[in-house]
Amino acid sequence: MKDWMRVAGIKSSEITDEQLFRQRRTIIQASMAAGMTGFIGSQAYAKELPGPIKKWDSNATDALTNEETATTYNNFYELGTDKGDPVKHADKLVTEPWSVVVDGECNAPGKFTFEDILKPHAIEERIYRLRCVEAWSMVIPWNGFPLADLLKRFQPNGNAKYVAFETINDDNLPGMSSRVLDWPYREGLRLDEAMHPLTLMAVGMYGNVIPNQNGAPMRLVVPWKYGYKSIKSIVRITFTEKQPATSWNMSAPHEYGFYSNVNPDVSHPRWSQAKERRLAGDISGLAALFAKKIDSQFMNGYGEEVAELYADMDLTKFF
């Protein structure tokens, strides 16, 4: 595990050395490999900060998914609908510069650069399962910070009951020409779900900057929900009073509910969710397609931590 760095100081818009600007992520990775934390600006330099990087290892006994599998077999429909399309077309996603608009029911809205978003946060490593609705799952070491820490900075007001997110909407991405979804990709959480300590804003995986095909430069990881709730390449965060529209619920409301919690007792209309194919350990490549199925766990195994969020709710109705 490589230590993560904090990013602070000069914004990317203020960097005058274009070559250095284009190599920012390479510099970040070099700093991590050296076990340093520091600042990136118009001149690169490192400054140590006190304290170790916090690690969450409650799921450390689960065998990790092979990094090659996790970065080459995934969904990112803006880059194509085949599982191999995201890595194939990853270079089409331009992540520098990057900005995020924050608006809605909050007292501190604005437009923030990626550096603005990262600046106050210490990076953590958390090993989380991520479950796909098509009945396969992975165990990935994510690097990021609690989403709650970010949302509090924007000061949601008393009308904020939900948080809505949007993915980049760029006609240059090869998947955007398809009509599989109504673009841009949208997702949302109830505010208490978004504020839960398990909900992570990820900026990396396997100790490295997150690859484009996995949702660079920033994505959600909500480990007790199906993977499509963990929206990638976020460009907008909106606090709302009413439940926001979400892409898969808009596309097929009888198949995909707003909550999308992993529940083996609630089948998808076209297949059972009682089993899953765990892509972990030494499994990689085509062998992943034939991995042995295991029993799916309620709330993806995080039931004890999140069950209170859904007390007295009918989880077959609010699926």
Tell whether 41 and 87 lie within a shared domain.
no
Among 28, 53, 78, residue at a domain's last position: 53
Q: Quote the CA–CA distance of 296 and 92 in Å, as a whole number.
A: 35
**pLDDT of 155 above 60:** yes
pLDDT bin (cut points 50, 70, 90) of residue 280 is confident
- Claim: this prediction has a pTM higher than 0.85: no
297 and 215, same structural domain? yes
Report the C-alpha dihedral over residues 193, 76, 83, 257, rounded to 10 degrees: 40
Q: Last residue of some domain: 53, 70, 92? A: 53
Kindly report which listed range (3-12, 173-182, 280-289) carries the lowest average pLDDT score: 3-12
pLDDT number for residue 285 = 59
Each residue's pLDDT tens digit, 194-221: 999 999 999 988 888 899 999 999 999 9
Domain contains 116: yes
Taking only the tens place, the pLDDT of each residue in 217-237 is: 999 999 999 999 999 999 999
What pLDDT is recorded for position 58?
A: 55
Answer yes or no: is 68 within a domain: yes
What percent of the chain has pLDDT above 90? 64
Q: What is the mean pLDDT of residues 181-199?
A: 97
CA distance 135 to 34: 38
In a domain, 102, yes or no: yes
User: For residues 307 and 188, what is the distance between their CA atoms, to the nearest angstrom?
Assistant: 19
Question: Does residue 134 carry a pLDDT above 90?
Answer: no
Q: Are residues 34 and 76 in the same domain?
A: no
Range of the domain at 105: 61-310
Q: Residue 298 pLDDT > 80, yes or no?
A: yes
Residue 14, pLDDT above cutoff 60: no
Does 32 have pLDDT greater than 60?
Answer: no
Q: What is the CATH number of the domain that holds 130?
A: 3.90.420.10
Q: Contact at 8 Å (CB) between 203 and 217?
A: yes
| pLDDT for residue 284 | 63
- The answer to whether residues 239 and 297 belong to one domain is yes
Q: Answer yes or no: do 18 and 142 share one domain.
A: no
- Is 315 among the domain residues? no
pLDDT score for 59: 52
| Mean pLDDT (whole number) for 73-96 | 95
205 and 253 within one domain: yes
Tell whether 318 is covered by a domain: no
Instruction: State residue 1's pLDDT score.
Output: 42
Q: Do residues 162 and 240 lie in contact, with contact meaning Cβ atoms separated by under 8 Å?
A: yes
Residues 135 and 261 in one domain: yes
Q: Is the pLDDT of residue 10 over 90?
A: no
Task: Calculate the average pLDDT of the chain.
Answer: 82
- Residue 139 has what pLDDT? 94
**Residue at 187 is within a domain:** yes
What the block records as the tokens of 63 is: 């065998």
Q: Please tell me whether residues 132 and 212 are part of one structural domain.
A: yes
Last residue of one domain, picked from the residues 34, 53, 72: 53
In a domain, 48, yes or no: yes
106 contact partners, CB below 8 Å, separation of at least 6: 154, 155, 156, 157, 160, 239
Number of domains in the chain: 2
The verdict on 247 and 267 lying in the same domain is: yes
Based on the fold, state whether residues 170 and 234 are members of the same structural domain: yes
Range 37-65 average pLDDT? 45
Residue 317 maps to a domain:
no
Check whether residue 7 and residue 81 sit in a common domain.
Answer: no
Statement to judge: residues 179 and 277 lie in one domain? yes
